[in-house]
Structure 1
Amino acid sequence: MLVSNVYRPTVFACRADEPLADVARRMIERKVGALAVLDGDRVAGIITERDLAGALASSPDPAAEEAAGYASARVETAALDEDAGDVARRMLEAGIRHLPVDDHGRLVGMVSMRDLLALETWAA
Structure 2
Amino acid sequence: MRVDEVFHVGTLTCEASDPLAEVARKMTDDHVGALAVLDNERIVGIISERDVVRAIAERADPQESTALSFATQQLETATVSDDTKDVARRMLDAGVRHLPVKQGHMVIGVISMRDLLAIETWL
Q: Same fold (TM over 0.5)?
A: yes
Question: Which 4+ stretches in 1 moved above 4 angstroms?
Answer: none
**Structure 1 residue 60: deviation in Å?**
4.5
Question: More displaced, 55-64 or 5-14?
Answer: 55-64
Work out the CA distance in 1 between the residues paired with 2:73 and 2:97: 15
1:102-122 deviation digits (Å, cap 9, x = unpaired)? 010101010000000001111
In the alignment, which residue of structure 2 is the partner of 1:8?
8
1:19-63 deviation digits (Å, cap 9, x = unpaired)? 111100110111110000001121100000000001111135223
In the alignment, which residue of structure 2 is the partner of 1:103?
103
Work out the CA distance in 2 between the residues paired with 1:35 and 1:110: 9
Percent of aligned pairs with the same residue? Answer: 50
Map residues 23-102 of structure 1 onto 2, 5 A cutoff: 23-102=23-102
Closer, same or farther: CA 60–11 of 1 in aligned 2, 3 Å: closer
**3-state SS, counterpart of residue 68 of structure 2:** helix
The TM-score normalised by the length of structure 1 is 0.96
**Structure 1 residue 64: deviation in Å?**
2.4
How well do the aligned residues superpose, as a CA RMSD in angstroms?
0.9
Q: Which runs of 5+ in 2 are unaligned?
A: none
